[in-house]
Structure 1
Amino acid sequence: MEYLHRTVDQELDELLPHASAIALDGPKGVGKTDTAKRRASSMWFLDDPAQRAVAEADFSLSTLATGTVLIDEWQRLPAVWDSVRRQVDQGSPPGRFILTGSATPVDAAGTHSGAGRILSLRMRPMGLHERAIETPTVSLSKVLTGEHPEVRGETRISLKDYAHQIAGGGFPGIMPVPPRLQRAMLDAYLQRIIDRDLPEQGFEVRRPETLRRWLAAYAAATSTTASYSRILDATTGGDGAQPAKTTTIAYRDHLTRLWLLDPIPGWIPANNAIRRLQQAPKHHLADPALAARFLDLTATSLLSGAGAGMIGPLFESLCALSVRIAAQASEARVRHLRTNAGEHEIDLLIEGVDGQLVGAEVKLAPQVSSGDVQHLLWLRDQLPDQVVDLMVLTTGTTAYRRSDGIAVVPLALLGA
């Protein structure tokens, strides 16, 4: 299968000549190993029992070959992390180590954070701009400069295409296959998490069906700030049984370690410029396709009455995935903004490295009205010195700027 360029590739190209060790973190199947292998001169796969046994016998890794060394699934042997950190302290050259991991270690307390020695980069499933279905014409990095770059471009990507991208997901090994096989592979992916990955993290799933119900309730809350108590209430089974709150807290903790949950935090400004803001996160799974599978939604049903209530939240989740990947390349963070009473909210708030802000609203329909931008205009009025640009992400065909300066960008045309 042809390798599709990832946004994190440009980050690695920029950082490897200067950093001795870089860790690529993210859920299984997002392509961490393939991306790292393209830069490695030697490789260790610690999910291979034989190679792990050799590494266990020499925690110092003193016999490694020269060049860039890839240590894959490092969390299978957490002591390797500390060995890498020590070698960095001892003067390892730039580009010496790439570590990939699909879970944080069970006993993280025994592993040094690596702060200042090992640089961590998050790798998510592929954003829309990475899937080679369209050529982006609007760069988020240029938008973040505050120079109001020209917004232009046309796309033939339609709502039907977006539904297929939501249902098919951004896992490189799953994307190219027919829809029926995609669904089977995504179901198997989720089953593996329940049957194998969670137990390997030391979490015994006593009632797998209860966990699936909780995950389905979490998926149904995609792109909302629903309280965890409401998600728990929605987990009640047909027999009236409901998991204990402590059980669902354990679900959240362990699924977060596996990078399966990927909520967007609420934005809290350092200077308290806007008061009475919610801190509750917006709920997202690692990929909207996983949410669709928990809810038994296909590309076809998303466009019918059965999926009418979820196509909007899942499109927003696809936007969030793409924006977070693009923002990371520019050292920017993505948050959401919602006042306590809910009178104002911004779907995605992108905060640049210098504190500059870009507000983005998500609209499923192709047209944008004055009512669709009122919260963005409010944000600009509240923070005129910080807000450098505003945009609405749509399913339309044309990218342009409105007379009020707000960019209207079809998601397919937004790139890093």
Structure 2
Amino acid sequence: MIHRELSSELLFRVNHFPVAAILGPRQVGKTTLVKAIQQELPKESIYFDLEIPSDLAKFSADAEIFLKNLYSQTVILDEIHRLPNIFVLLRGLIDQQREAGRFILLGSASPDLLRNTAESLAGRISYLEMHPLHYREIAPQNYQKHWLWGGFPAVYMAENDKIKSLWLNDFLMSYLERDLPQLGLSVSPLLMRRLLMMLASMQGGILNYSTLANSLGVSQPTVKNAIDFLEQAFLIRRLQPYFTNIGKRLVKSPKIYIRDSGLLHHLLSIKTFENLLGHIVAGGSWEGYIIQEIISMLPQDSLLFYYRSQDGAELDLVIEQGMCIKLAIEIKLSDSPVLSRGNSVSLQDVGNPPLLVVTPSAQDYQLRPNVWVCSVVTLAENLTKFDLNVFALI
């Protein structure tokens, strides 16, 4: 079994908060993680999978009495969105007996979709987001398979491409036909699949709701609502622009990414590494892959943006911590990266932070003053060299 680096951070939260919540896409390994650390919890625990009718039925009669009888144990509730009305009850039980490690909640939707947790358990709950497998969790294996197949554990460990493709087909079908409608999305699964395929073809591009709406034959609010749900279900990411410099004409629309590179390539029918390198989306795919790696290493209060002016000067990523830009990132699908004049202008615009250029496999070196080059293999090590708060590294 692959060790997940979130283990120690989850145990820390369980030991200091009444409720610890692990959120992330389906099949990312949340259940496996919790079961792996059960023996390390500070007290005995009991696990309920709310997608199993017999477990769900235990909460249908008198959930309060049922949970009160489990006061001495850590209660683990998997797929918590199946019990949307339980959060007020949890708050009452915690306030009666406020101690760390009362509950662990697992869910496949963001706090914005699980609004009851944010409203009912404020000050009592600590959220953790679980990502698909990071490169450093499977290192020193070759990054190429990880980039091509993505980080869902069942996909990465699949025996062959056919099993991988079947799994991803079932994964998408489950999300589009069951999970998203249960979370309140009223858009048809067929339309959602078409939207996802269009977003995949735009990987790393500027999001234009009007263009998508016209192509799909629906209204802009419909597209916006659907994308909101996809983001809050951890399938896509909108990277917002950095535009505090009011003296510049800047791009102010978000960039769009399918979060998991394997899901992206499945939507685009990219089967081999050679197909990927020859595909028009290769650069955007590499960019999204590295952004996903970086985000998984940073604490949740970090703010990440891209920067682009109307005349084309840009930076792929700027990282803000503590109200200032700590690091800029350029992501190059080349081991001999060249920076443009626009990159230099953009660095000046955002305050001349250090710049890290991330490549597939270049040796680490300093390109010029305040600019360094690294590879995906040494990315985690390099991030720690800057004045950056880096979270949960193995």
Q: Deviation of residue 131 (structure 1)?
A: 2.4
| Structure 2 residue aligned with 1:201 | 183
Distance 1:35 1:63, change over 3 A: same
Across the two proteins, how many residue pairs are aligned to each other?
A: 371
Q: Deviations over 1:37-73 (max 9, x none)?
A: 2333221211111111212333332122524332111
Q: Deviations over 1:257-276 (max 9, x none)?
A: 4222222222354xx57754
Structure 1 residue matching 2:16: 3-state secondary structure: coil
Q: What amino acid does structure 2 have at the position aligned with 1:264?
A: L
Q: Distance in 1 between matches of 2:286 and 2:113?
A: 36
| Gapped regions of structure 2 (runs ≥ 5) | 39-44, 381-392
Determine if contact 1:264/1:281 at 8 Å carries over to the other structure. yes
Q: What amino acid does structure 2 have at the position aligned with 1:125?
A: P
Q: Deviation of residue 297 (structure 1)?
A: 1.3
Q: Distance in 1 between matches of 2:275 and 2:247?
A: 37
Structure 2 residue matching 1:402: 3-state secondary structure: strand
Q: Deviation of residue 118 (structure 1)?
A: 1.1
Q: Structure 1 residue 366 and structure 2 residue 373: aligned?
A: no
Structure 1 residue matching 2:377: 3-state secondary structure: helix
Trace 1:377-392 onto structure 2 (pairs within 5 A).
377-384=344-351, 387=353, 389-392=354-357
Query: Of 267, 273, 279, which aligns to 1:294?
Result: 267
Q: Deviation of residue 404 (structure 1)?
A: 1.5
Trace 1:8-407 onto structure 2 (pairs within 5 A).
8-40=6-38, 41-60=45-64, 61-64=67-70, 66-103=72-109, 112=119, 114-134=121-141, 157=142, 161-162=143-144, 164-177=145-158, 178-206=160-188, 208-235=189-216, 242-269=217-244, 275-300=248-273, 302-303=275-276, 305=278, 307=279, 309-328=280-299, 331-339=301-309, 341-353=310-322, 355-371=324-340, 374-384=341-351, 387=353, 389-407=354-372
Q: Deviations over 1:125-153 (max 9, x none)?
A: 1222222335xxxxxxxxxxxxxxxxxxx
- For normalisation by structure 2, the TM-score amounts to 0.84
Determine if contact 2:87/2:116 at 8 Å carries over to the other structure. no
* Runs of 4+ in structure 1 over 6 Å off: none
Structure 2 residue matching 1:293: 3-state secondary structure: helix
Q: Deviations over 1:182-207 (max 9, x none)?
A: 1221121112212222332344454x
Q: What amino acid does structure 1 have at the position aligned with 2:307?
A: L
Determine if contact 1:24/1:123 at 8 Å carries over to the other structure. yes
Q: Distance in 1 between matches of 2:211 and 2:293?
A: 28
Q: Deviation of residue 287 (structure 1)?
A: 0.8
Q: Structure 1 residue 5 and structure 2 residue 29: aligned?
A: no
* Larger mean Cα displacement after TM superposition, 390-399 or 33-42: 33-42
| Structure 2 residue aligned with 1:413 | 378
Q: Deviations over 1:293-322 (max 9, x none)?
A: 1111122453464x2x11110111110110
| Gapped regions of structure 1 (runs ≥ 5) | 135-156, 236-241
Q: What amino acid does structure 2 have at the position aligned with 1:326?
A: M
Q: Deviations over 1:5-38 (max 9, x none)?
A: 22x3343244332222111111101111222223
Structure 2 residue matching 1:358: 3-state secondary structure: strand
Q: Distance in 1 between matches of 2:92 and 2:372?
A: 48
Q: What amino acid does structure 2 have at the position aligned with 1:78?
A: P
Distance 1:14 1:279, change over 3 A: farther
Q: Distance in 1 between matches of 2:86 and 2:98?
A: 15
Distance 1:412 1:281, change over 3 A: same
Determine if contact 1:327/1:334 at 8 Å carries over to the other structure. no
Q: Deviations over 1:61-95 (max 9, x none)?
A: 21225243321111100222223333333342223
Q: Distance in 2 between matches of 1:105 and 1:166?
A: 28
* Larger mean Cα displacement after TM superposition, 314-323 or 222-231: 222-231
Distance 1:342 1:47, change over 3 A: farther
Q: What amino acid does structure 2 have at the position aligned with 1:31?
A: G
Distance 1:106 1:397, change over 3 A: closer
Q: What amino acid does structure 1 have at the position aligned with 2:366?
A: R
Q: Distance in 1 between matches of 2:263 and 2:113?
A: 27
- For normalisation by structure 1, the TM-score amounts to 0.80
Q: Distance in 2 between matches of 1:317 and 1:107?
A: 24
Q: Deviation of residue 376 (structure 1)?
A: 4.8
Determine if contact 1:169/1:175 at 8 Å carries over to the other structure. yes
Distance 1:230 1:66, change over 3 A: same
Q: Deviation of residue 107 (structure 1)?
A: 7.8
Distance 1:227 1:93, change over 3 A: same
Q: Distance in 2 between matches of 1:290 and 1:35?
A: 22
Q: What amino acid does structure 1 have at the position aligned with 2:137?
A: E
Distance 1:166 1:234, change over 3 A: farther
Q: Distance in 2 between matches of 1:365 and 1:217?
A: 26
Q: Distance in 1 between matches of 2:133 and 2:154?
A: 11
Determine if contact 2:361/2:377 at 8 Å carries over to the other structure. no
